[in-house]
Amino acid sequence: MASYLHKATGAVKHALPSHKDADTDTGELPPSATVEREEKPIDEIGLTVFQDKNVKHEVLVKLNQLKLDDAKHGLGEVRELFDEGEEGIQFYKPISYMIISVPHGEDFIGKILLDNEGHCIHVRVFSPPGGTGPYKFHSIDTRPTEDGGALFKQSDKLKYFEY
């Protein structure tokens, strides 16, 4: 496990393995977490979570922030989606999800389709025990730019991510 120095606090942080280093299809789970439900096509439960008004709003705000950060810092997180000539986000369509049981509730990891070219994002949403909400957007999975940044293909499997 790689370590790095957190710039703001000066604390030593430990980085989780990258997607390339993950030794399972679900990524590196924390010791106290278990896979409650493997990746499956979206159903009523998944739609309830990922179409939640607050979750959807926060995901779209985060995508816009990634776009602005790309333009400002050249990060390339969502470049393919917003390159010149591209239409950007055409729709927000949850297509699959998995559930990770954690000691304080459940993490829903979802795959959201954004355009007709098959660009997807992987989103993490938290729910207190029982999975009935309130749902709280946690993050969008991002990889190094050379691995695709925040954009995934429809065929990419969902993996647990901690950040």
- Condensed to tens digits (0 to 9), the pLDDT of residues 82-99 reads 776 667 899 999 999 999
How do residues 4-48 score in pLDDT, each as one tens digit?
A: 333 333 444 333 344 444 433 456 787 777 888 899 999 999 999
β-pairing, 105-113 vs 120-127, is antiparallel
For residue 30, the model assigns a pLDDT of 79
Which of these, 99, 113, 109, 98, lies nearest to 154 by C-alpha position? Answer: 113
Average pLDDT over residues 70-93: 82
pLDDT value, residue 100:
92
Residue 110 confidence class, pLDDT cut points 50, 70, 90: very high
Q: What is the pLDDT of residue 14?
A: 37
CB neighbours of 138 closer than 8 A, spacing ≥ 6?
107, 124, 125, 126
